[in-house]
Amino acid sequence: MMPQGNTKQTVDRTPVKRSAPSRKRKRKQHSKAPFVLFCLLLISIAALILVHMTDIGDKIKKLPQAFTYPTDYEEYVLRYCAEYDCDPVLVFSVIKVESSFDPNAVSDVGARGLMQLMEDAFNWIKFRLGDDRGYTFDDVFDPKLNIQYGTYYLSYLMEKYNGSIELSAAAYHCGMGLVDSWIDDGTIDPENFRVSDIPDENDQTANYVEKIRDAYEHYKEILSSSHEVSE
């Protein structure tokens, strides 16, 4: 007989491979609606750009002009142009050429402010306006007062010289007396004025008139496009 006792039974520990449960994965069906809407949006934007391409191009071209030819102090310019029946395009042009919109500008000959008024011109305008507000020439750096007096002076010159921007600009630069003398002695013809007719010794005035004319053309385009003045 075989001895009785604890007998060890060998256990098969080899892991049993179990088949994975069957999982049927459903493919997610993505909606195409957002993609279609995005495409439609791009098409709409492209269409708008094409339709307004010319307008956008024109505005982009005018951006540099907005910096080169600013329209600061337009509230005062438009206010006093309406009061004195003056062309705001001309006023902006004079401010641009005279001071580049620096209210504290002072010239070598003592002209002051935005429109570079001389003291004798300031006193003459003050007398003409009957201005008893107590202002002195030291107050001419104030943009509002400077534009008021300068605009009145330009309106007077434009009336005197029958709406001639060139003759008015020349008189603004070198004085009415000298321009009147050119007219009186036949140096220039007010009915057929040419900048080249200005005497050579007054070439600075001729150059000034050319600058005013150039600025005038730019401001006429800028202000007309912004509907600030009528064409």
| Catalytic machinery residues | 98
Alpha-carbon distances, residue 128 vs 22, 62, 123, 144, 156 (angstroms):
105, 39, 9, 18, 10
Task: Give the contacts of 225 (CB within 8 A, at least 6 positions apart).
Answer: 62
103 in Cβ contact with 146 (< 8 Å)? yes
114 in Cβ contact with 98 (< 8 Å)? yes
Task: Give the contacts of 173 (CB within 8 A, at least 6 positions apart).
Answer: 204, 205, 208, 209
CB-based burial label for 25 (10 Å; 0-12, 13-18, 19+): exposed
Residue in 166, 167, 196, 194 with CA at minimum distance from that of residue 179 = 167
